[in-house]
A = this chain, B = another copy of it.
Amino acid sequence: MQSIEQLDTPSVLVDLDILERNISRMAERARALGVRLRPHGKTHKVVEIGRMQLAAGAVGLCLAKTGEAEVFAAAGFDDIFIAYPVVGAEKACRLLALTDAVRLCVGVDSLEGARSLAQVFHTARRTLPVRLKVDVGLHRAGVGPEQAAETGRRVADLPGLRLEGVFTHAGQAYHAESPEDVESVGRREGQILADAAAALRAAGLPIESVSVGSTPTARHAMAVAGVTECRPGNYVYHDASQVSLGTCGIEDCALTVLATIVSTPAPGRALVDAGSKSLSSDPLRPRPGGHGWLLGHASRVAWLSEEHGVVEVARGESFRIGDRVRILPNHACVVSNLHDRVLGVRGDRVETELLVAARGQVQ
């Protein structure tokens, strides 16, 4: 087995011990609360990691894009929820093709969007299970809780669709002021969604799935009575933003970017060979603060250009050209998306190479 020291840089490392622990902890948490776990595969886009999640007890996968679902379906995943308002005849035809082998469910958040799927499925004399997205405060996609019953009823009336659940994503947790704030967002997320499900059921609609999302809010939203499913994604890897939010410790972060110091052009400044094309330019959450932490150092990546990371060297630290560092990125999901492969490591040994199989599946 190759040692990390022999790797060229930048390389994305996934600590398999931490990955396995993250996967089993979230599975245990869901099991303890009697909630089904459907991890979001957009974080890793790796078939082998999806299989590990299923082996730990996940009921299936959640994905964002039709193309991602196609990749995982081709790899044998047979229970997929696309948590995204997919619209249009072209994508509906691709969804139709997927339903031969996959128990597929798709998000909707409007009657117009739902209709564009319904037409294709109805014509094909098939039924597509859908879930209605409810906005619990992120103000991105989703119907407001007060419109859920009305939109749900009209969607459920469309031939070709079967409304089987509701879902949400409390992404506003990434802007929370404190761990207490995250908890409050999570509880609210679960409660609003459970209430929306109750309203839909009161309107006569047989809502089965009440599905919450997001790694920071998972433990809180899952604990709300009425929530049946949780779709965290980032928890497999975690990142500097999750640490900053209080979701986990640095020791729970599985994904790092191995980089080399390529220049020390001025006192207090060092350059690594990883820039925004390796680390992404996503900001640190909940508050901006550079572009990555150097593990085992107080120094941080202060700013990025495409292929340079500019390290602000902390007092008392110093780096020499050729030194290797491991950078904990701000946002793991977008880092893995920039790379064709990540390397599974155990200690300082490279154990396996993992293809980021669904990378680049933007459609």
List the interface of chain A (C-beta within 8 A of B). Answer: 8-11, 42, 64-65, 84-88, 90-91, 109-110, 112-113, 116, 135, 139-144, 171, 260, 262-266, 269, 271, 273-274, 276-278, 280-283, 305-308, 310, 320-322, 333-334, 337-340, 360, 362-363
Q: How far is the CA of A143 from the CA of B321 in the complex (A)?
A: 14
Closest residue on chain B to residue A66 by CB atoms:
B8
One of B91, B142, B143, B263 near A141 (C-beta < 8 A)? B263
Query: Could you say which residues of chain B place their CB within 8 Å of the CB of A337?
Result: 277, 306, 338
* Given A113-B262, A171-B305; 14 other pairs, CB 8 A cutoff: A8-B90, A10-B363, A64-B306, A84-B307, A86-B262, A87-B322, A109-B265, A116-B321, A141-B308, A276-B334, A281-B281, A338-B338, A339-B360, A340-B360
A144 CB, min distance to chain B CBs, angstroms: 8
Give the 8 A-B CB pairs with smallest separation, nearest first.
A112-B321, A64-B307, A340-B360, A8-B363, A87-B262, A85-B262, A278-B362, A85-B263
**With contact pairs A10-B362, A140-B271 given, residues A334 and B263 touching in the complex (Cβ less than 8 Å):** no
- A339 to chain B: which residues have CB within 8 Å? 360, 362
Instruction: Say how many copies of this protein the assembly contains.
Output: 2
Neighbour of A276 across the interface among B86, B274, B282, CB < 8 A? B282
Known contacts A141-B308, A305-B140; A362/B274 CB under 8 A: yes
CB < 8 Å neighbour of A113 from B263, B278, B306, B333: B263
A278 contacts across to B, CB distance below 8 A: 362
Instruction: Point out the residue from B112, B269, B334 that lies within 8 Å of A281, measured CB to CB.
Output: B334
Closest to A324 in B: B88
Of the candidates A260, A277, A320, the one having the most CB atoms from chain B within 10 angstroms of its own CB is A277
User: Given A113-B263, A263-B85, A264-B110, does the pair A277, B362 have CB atoms closer than 8 Å?
Assistant: yes
Specify which of B110, B276, B320 is in contact with A263 (CB 8 Å cutoff).
B110
> Closest B-chain residue to A257, C-beta based?
B362
- How far apart are the CA atoms of A106 and B112 in the complex, in Å? 55
Question: How far is B271's CA from A113's CA once the two chains are assembled, in angstroms?
Answer: 12
Minimum C-beta distance from A195 to chain B (A): 19
Evaluate contact between B321 and A306: CB separation under 8 angstroms. no
Residues of B within 8 A of A263 (CB): 85, 87, 109-110, 113, 141
Closest B residue to A282 using CB positions: B281
Contact flag A265-B321 (CB < 8 Å), given A274-B362, A360-B340: no
